[in-house]
Structure 1
Amino acid sequence: MDTAFVLYDELTALDLVGPYETLAAHASVRAHFVADRVGPVRADNGLTLHADTAFDELPRPDLIVVPGSSRWRDALANTALVSWLRSASPTATWTTSVCTGSLLLAEAGLLTGRPATTHWGVHDVLAAYGVEVRDERVVRDGRLITAAGVSAGIDMGLTLAASLWGEEVARVVQLMLEYDPQPPFDSGSPARATPETLAAAVALMG
C-alpha cells in the first residue's frame, strides 16, 4: 500500500509523526515522504524532515496523510501541493488529514458539502469552504478521514488502522505506543479550558 505522508514547508511535525507511528510499521505499508521536491523540509517549530519522493513521482498513492500547519495561510498558497491533492485523492483508497490539513483538502475541493473536522481555532475557516464542520476528534466520511488538532492524528491513525487491518491490530498498535492519555491538565479543548487559557491560546495563534 503506497502511503503518501505529505511534507511541505512549515508543517506541524506531530500532525505527521502521530499517524506515521500508528501506520508505518505494518508490513503492507510502503511509506513515502512526498513533497514538491526531494530534500529537506522545515517544520513550523524548526524540526527538519526529509522528502524522499516528489509529487510527480507518486501520482496515484493508495493512502494520503496530510498534516496541518500553524502557518496554514501560507500552506493554502502552495499550489503544487493543492494541485497534487486534487489529482491524487480521487484514485486513492483513503485520504486523511490532521488539524489544519483539512483546510488543504478543502482548498483542493475535496470536502465541499461533506462532514469533516479540524483544529478548533479554524472551524469557521473550514466552514467557509462549504464543509459541514463537526466538533469531533475524528470524522470519517466514506474514504475521507479528518482529525482535529495535532494530537488527534494518533486517534485518526488508530481509527484507520482498525479499518485496514481490524480492531485487534489497532489495539495492539495502541498498546505498543502506550497511547494512554492522562494529561496533567484538563485544558485540551475550548470547552474545558478556562477563559484565560483560551484567550492566551487564541492570542498565540494570531
Structure 2
Amino acid sequence: MTEAPQTTIVFLLFPGITQLDFTAPAQALCRLPGARLIGAAASLDPIPTDCGFAILPTHDFAAAPQADILCVPGGHGVVEALGDRATIDFIARQAAGATWVTSVCTGAFLLGRAGLLEGRRATTHWAYTHLLPMVGARHEAARVVEDGPVVTSGGVTSGLDFALTLVARMRGDAAAQAIQLAIEYDPAPPFAGGHPDRAPAAVTEGLKARVYDAAAARMAAALKS
C-alpha cells in the first residue's frame, strides 16, 4: 500500500485564543493520513486560552516548518494579535508557501490584516461579519466559505465543519466521512438556536448587549489602528 504523503498543518497560537477554534479542527485534521500538526507561537511559553487552561506550542515562529495547510483560529485575543507585527508577518510568510490558507471564527481578521482576504468572499463569527469589509472581504452567509485556496469558517464549532470540508477537497468525500464517523460528529443540539437566524430574538439581543456589541467595537478599533 502506498504511504500517504505528509501534510504539515500549522495552527497559529496566541494568548486569548478560543481553544475550540483550534482543538476542533485539529481533532479532525490529525486523522488525515500523513498529517503532521504544528502549534506555532511567538515563543514556547504556554498559551493561555479563553477557558482558563493553557496550550503548549510545539514550535516558535522561527522554527515552525512551512505549512501545507495554515489555520488561524480566533478568540478575544485577536484584538491584541492584530497589532503584533511578528504574528502578522508569520501569517503572511506561511501563507505565501501554503496550499490552503484557512481561518476559524475571528481568525479571519488576522488573515485580513496580513492582506489575504482582499477581494475575497469570507465569513467569520456572526457577531463580527459586518466588519469583514474593513479587511477587504465580502461577507458570504455560510458556515464555511471557500474562495480559491482560502477557506474561512464561522464561529467556534464551525471549525469542525471546515476541517471535514477541507479533507473532502484533499482526499475525497469518503475520507471525510470516515473521519466524521470516527469522531462521531452527529450533532443533535438540544436547541435549534446556534445562529441568529434561528435563535430567539431576545436571546440574540441579550448576548449582543452583554458580550458582542463591546467586543465588535474593540475589534473595529483594532482594525482601524
Gaps of 5+ in 2: 1-6, 215-225
Query: 1:10 aligns to what SS in structure 2?
Result: coil
Contact 1:19 1:156 in 2 (8 A): yes
Q: Which residue of 15, 32, 35 corresponds with 1:9?
A: 15
- Choose 1 or 2 for highest CA Rg: 2
Deviations 1:156-192 (A, max 9, x none): 0000111111110100100111111111111111111
- Does residue 204 of the first structure (1) align with residue 211 of the second (2)? yes
Q: Which residue of 166, 169, 176 corresponds with 2:175?
A: 169
> Hey, what does 2:165 align to over in structure 1?
159
- Does residue 39 of the first structure (1) align with residue 66 of the second (2)? no
Q: For this pair of structures, how many residues does the alignment match?
A: 206
Query: 1:197 aligns to what SS in structure 2?
Result: helix
Identity %: 36
- Does residue 148 of the first structure (1) align with residue 154 of the second (2)? yes
* Aligned AA (2:28): T
Q: In 2, Cα distance between the equivalents of 1:75 and 1:58?
A: 18
Q: CA deviation at 1:70?
A: 2.6
Q: In 1, Cα distance between the equivalents of 2:173 and 2:49?
A: 32
* Aligned AA (2:131): V
Q: CA deviation at 1:62?
A: 1.2
Query: 1:65 aligns to what SS in structure 2?
Result: strand
Q: CA deviation at 1:71?
A: 3.8
State the Cα RMSD in Å: 1.2
> Hey, what does 1:27 align to over in structure 2?
33
* Aligned AA (2:121): P
Q: In 2, Cα distance between the equivalents of 1:109 and 1:2?
A: 22
Q: Normalization by structure 1: what TM-score? A: 0.96
Contact 1:13 1:47 in 2 (8 A): no
Contact 1:10 1:45 in 2 (8 A): no
Q: CA deviation at 1:92?
A: 0.4
Q: In 2, Cα distance between the equivalents of 1:73 and 1:39?
A: 20
Q: CA deviation at 1:59?
A: 5.4
Gaps of 5+ in 1: none
Q: Normalization by structure 2: what TM-score? A: 0.88
Q: CA deviation at 1:58?
A: 2.2
Q: In 1, Cα distance between the equivalents of 2:147 and 2:190?
A: 33
> Hey, what does 2:193 align to over in structure 1?
187
> Hey, what does 1:67 align to over in structure 2?
73
User: What is the 5 A alignment of 1:42-191?
Assistant: 42-58=48-64, 60-191=66-197
Q: In 2, Cα distance between the equivalents of 1:47 and 1:140?
A: 32
Bigger shift: 164-173 or 63-72? 63-72
Question: Residues 59 and 80 (structure 1 numbering): CA distance in 2 closer, same or farther, change over 3 Å?
Answer: farther
Query: 1:128 aligns to what SS in structure 2?
Result: helix
